[in-house]
Chain A
Amino acid sequence: MTLLGIAWRNIRHRMLTSVLTALSLALGVALVVATLVTGGIVQKAFESGSGLGYNMIVGAKGSPLQLVLNSVYFISRPIENIPWSTYQNFLPAAQRVDGVDGTFAASTKTAVPICMGDYFRGFRVVGTNAAMFGQLSRGDGQAFQFSKGVNFRDADFFGGVLGAAVASKTGLKVGDPFAPTHGSHDGKVHDPFTVVGILAQTNTPIDRGVFVNMEGFYLQEGHAKPVPGEVPNDSRHTQDSRISQDSRNSQDSQREPASHTLPAGAAPASAQPLPFEQREVTAILLETASLPGLPSELTGMGLRMAINEGRDAQAALPIGEIRQLLDLFVRPLELLLLLVTALVVVVSAMGILVSMVGSSLERSRDVAIMRALGARRSHVLATVLIEAVLLAVGGGLAGWALGHLFVGAVAPWIATNAGVSASIFSTSPAAEALLVPFLVGLAIAAALLPAVAAYRTDVAKWLQGPG
């Protein structure tokens, strides 16, 4: 019989105590694993967002972080809207009514406007144009893929595209109508759009977005900017300048609006596009270009400075903002959470110590018997330490599995709210690989006291009979 076998039988003999000790350790480890994995998922969520197919966001003056959180992650609230003319500054002559290049056209490769403020069943509705999925990439250089249907056309005022998580959660299919609500989850119900496409999963916040043609978005009640002296009609106006905007990417959609035909069954049959002077945008997603003779970084830096010096808008770099957010808030918070959970594990490991010290009387007799049978002090020391390691490894592995089960259980919630696919198999490999060795070390440290007590057991005293 090996020392391992002896230690295992000792554990079995004190089954209830052993199970409770291992269980307390398992719960601590489960907490650590869940924290590590979900922390990794949160980080991945932000980092995946910062890798979208654009490198700059232009929006209203205010917090650049708020601008990024709202535009990239669809969380937080829009700061304000910016004028339509600001958007036009990024358009080339061919896309402008006046036939002149916009101020920043030379530094711009792609400019996609977004308008926010509406919701559909808890998901953000984003008014944009077809360039969103036609010209921007997913960030990994790959074009957006549609699992069902196609991108909406700029001419389809009431066409919409759903992110993968939205489609999964709402059960909407291509051809289904859906009606956003104005300003909040329980706001006034707008005219319906029609699903024309469902995006393939991207594991980015895009999965949580409802994207509609901004021409239709502008035509909803409350989405038109009031023009002084003009009496708003009942289908296009409002005081809420936070909610609206437009754009279009195709050449014809950037010129003066013309009549468009609506898809069958969607909204008014003879809708006219909203005049430019009544339009605003929430933000512009920019993919910058390189000016001749300049590296793209310098072009972007110059563009950003020029925008920020103006009065109307600010330019934010998503990657920089996200890094700052991670460094300032997420990582310290994660570290704090890890410290707390590490303390839980340490306390759980103390359970091993308490359990072993608690059974030391019984153990002393067993140790004395083994010593009388010829066991050396090193044998009993090793047996106690092996017992502690077995409890630590057993509790640790059970906790590891429990932690992943927990992550698996909350995975649907994470996917819906963070736009990142999480599963029972989501891991934080480096940290998890250190967990069991750390636990074993901790268990050995905790078991040293009872092990030394066993080592020093007075055999004669414990075996003494009368005489």
Chain B
Amino acid sequence: MANPIIELSNVRKSFALPSGETVNVLDIERFAIAEGEHSVLEGQSGSGKSTLLNVISGIMRADAGRVVVDSIDLTRLSEAQRDRVRADKLGLVFQQFNLLPGFTALENVLVAMTFGSGRLDRDRGVQLLKAVGLSDRLHHKPAALSVGQQQRVAVARALANRPRVILADEPTASIDASHQQQVIDLLRNTCSEQGIALLVVTHAVEVATQFPSRRRLESFNRAALATEK
């Protein structure tokens, strides 16, 4: 494998239930994504896909093991430092798009730049939106955009800080079939052009089959395997 841009080793993550019981969600010996790799992660509902993305993005801290993003070990960082790594190295695309409703398309992109290390570059924000075909929707708020347009804004926002990896959590789950392909094409083409690694979490077979690298979470997450047994 080429140089990994994401590398997890011996990562464990568990949650305490209100009853006091502990539930193991992740127990991964090794998981890696190479620089520029486009990969899809499949898994059943409740298999820990979202938790894995949260651990990789530093939103959650692993209980044990190492989580390295672009050679930075997140497990050694404070929460604020992880926030900074997330802003600079990662682009997130969500199932519900999660655009800020009070902000225009352009402002949603600029907000992401606000928290990164780079300068606030309005021109780049405009260029990103133009690249996803929204040059005539710069000043529209999410409510005035179609579902497909909203997801395109989300992709443009994920690219705002020139990330090394884009993590897309069910990016096509909320859009109709006619737009699903557009979004996948947009993600893959954009990431290819800019040499960005792409990890798409999905349970949609028609999406998964388009990726050369397909991983099934249950196959390497020992916590999921234990649950299945």
Contact = CB atoms under 8 A, between A and B. Distances in A.
A464 B111 contact: no
Interface in B104-161: 107, 110-116, 120, 157, 161
Nearest to A13: B102
A239 to B, nearest CB: 79
A292 interface: no
Contacts of A294: none
B86 to A, nearest CB: 5
A373 B49 contact: no
Interface in A445-467: 459-460, 463-467
Q: Which of B46, B60, B112, B114 has the most CB of A within 10 A?
A: B114
Contacts of B162: none
A374 B87 contact: yes
A379 B60 contact: no
Contacts of B37: none
Contacts of B101: 13, 366
A2 to B, nearest CB: 7
B225 interface: no
How large, as a class, is the contact surface on chain B?
A: 35 or more
Interface stretch (A4-12, A84-92, A158-166, A180-188): A4-12
Interface in B155-204: 157, 161, 169-170, 173, 201, 203
A3 B47 CA distance: 37
A464 B15 CA distance: 15
Contact of A6 (B47, B88, B114): B114
A390 to B, nearest CB: 14
Contact of A373 (B112, B120, B173, B201): B112
A466 B53 CA distance: 12
A379 B115 contact: yes
Given A375-B87, A460-B60, 17 more contacts: A1-B114, A1-B120, A9-B107, A13-B101, A13-B102, A368-B98, A370-B100, A370-B115, A373-B157, A374-B84, A374-B115, A375-B115, A465-B50, A465-B173, A466-B95, A467-B45, A467-B169
27 contacts: A1-B110, A1-B113, A6-B114, A9-B103, A13-B101, A366-B102, A370-B115, A372-B57, A372-B86, A373-B86, A373-B92, A373-B111, A373-B112, A374-B112, A375-B83, A375-B114, A376-B83, A376-B84, A459-B59, A465-B95, A465-B96, A465-B173, A466-B45, A466-B173, A467-B46, A467-B48, A467-B50
Interface of B: 43, 45-51, 54, 57, 59-60, 79-80, 83-84, 86-88, 92, 94-96, 98-103, 107, 110-116, 120, 157, 161, 169-170, 173, 201, 203
The 8 nearest A-B residue pairs measured at CB = A374-B87, A13-B102, A374-B115, A467-B49, A465-B95, A1-B110, A376-B83, A373-B112
